[in-house]
Amino acid sequence: MAPNSTPPPSGVYVPAVLFFDENEDLDVPAIKAHVLRLAKGGVTGILVQGSNGEAQHLSHDERKEAIRLTRQTLNENGFEQVVIIAGTGAQSTRETKKLCADAAEAGAAYCLVLTPGVWPGQMTPANILKFHRDVADASPIPTMVYNFPVVTAGLNLDSDIIGELAQHPNIVGTKLSCGTIGKLHRLTSTVPASKFATFPGVSDVFLQGLVSGSAGLIGALPNVAPKAHMEVYRLYKAGKLQEAEKIQALLGQADWELGKLGSIGGIKAVVSKSFGYGNTNVRGPLSAAAVTPSSTLKLEELITFEKSL
């Protein structure tokens, strides 16, 4: 267990997509270019192997390499302060512990842990609590609870369970990809922010989350527009709520479009088209997404705004 576990600093974190070449091998130049653009965009941290990073499609060695490559790229370019969170979800406690140890070795500061979902009927509240506590006990770096019902066979951890896990000395935060503001607010109002960071996992409730005491955002859309998200964060912190609301409205519309494009494939298609690196390759069984002007009106508006910042 990590000594003196503190939560990640508040701000904007991006679950970075991972680029592949035509053979579905890591496209190192594109991965580095993406990490660098995100860092230059001002993000607080990068989540390597979030669901957008195709973690479940990678070998252990590839997962470790993606973290190492991200840390190296940041350090070589003067972005040592950018935090790395590593997704370490797996279907057994044993494998999850191994991935946490690998992540620490490769340069991650935190682990984000999905609840196993192959046997949802077996995942009683007691089993969920035991799984996350066992992983946190063994992890050399602090862990965070990743609640994403879409990829865990519908398991949706409530505020009672997450609140109990927050009492563990090595569990320091959560990513709520369920996007439930009520749940987020219950957690922020009962668990001190100095001990536990609560992040929404979708951009369409970014500002609403901040108003409810969140630590910021861990979301997919900053892959496209990191600066726009940092601008919302800055305006909110400066008390300029109306200005922040205008940008938030655009983020919500663009996030919706991105979801309809097919998330991971959609992000890669939009990024490669708009920023001049990478490609649309995903690992099967995912399929590449095609971007048409009519399907990306709000995304185009957001990208124009992003490039103006």
What is the set of domains in the chain, with CATH numbers? 11-237 (3.20.20.70)
Ranges of the chain with pLDDT below 70: none
Is position 175 annotated as part of the catalytic site?
A: yes
- Catalytic one of 32, 97, 175, 183: 175
Backbone angles phi, psi at 11, to 5 degrees: 150, -155
pLDDT at 290: 85
For 72-129, give the secondary structure using H, E and C. HHHHHCCCCCCEEEEECCCCCHHHHHHHHHHHHHHCCCEEEEECCCCCHHHCCHHHHH
Three-state secondary structure call for residue 228: helix
Backbone angles phi, psi at 264, to 5 degrees: -60, -50
Is position 183 annotated as part of the catalytic site?
A: no
State how far Cα 158 lies from the chain centre: 19
pLDDT at 129: 98
Q: Please check if 218 is assigned to a binding site.
A: yes
Q: At which residue do the structure tokens 């991965």 appear?
A: 31
Q: Are 250 and 302 in contact (CB under 8 A)?
A: yes
- Catalytic one of 13, 64, 97, 146: 146
Q: Are 261 and 286 in contact (CB under 8 A)?
A: no
Backbone angles phi, psi at 259, to 5 degrees: -60, -40
CA atoms within 13 A on the CB side of 229: 34
E strands along the chain, which residues? 11-15, 45-48, 83-87, 110-114, 143-147, 171-176, 197-200, 216-218
- Rounded-to-integer distance, Cα 83 and Cα 282, Å: 25
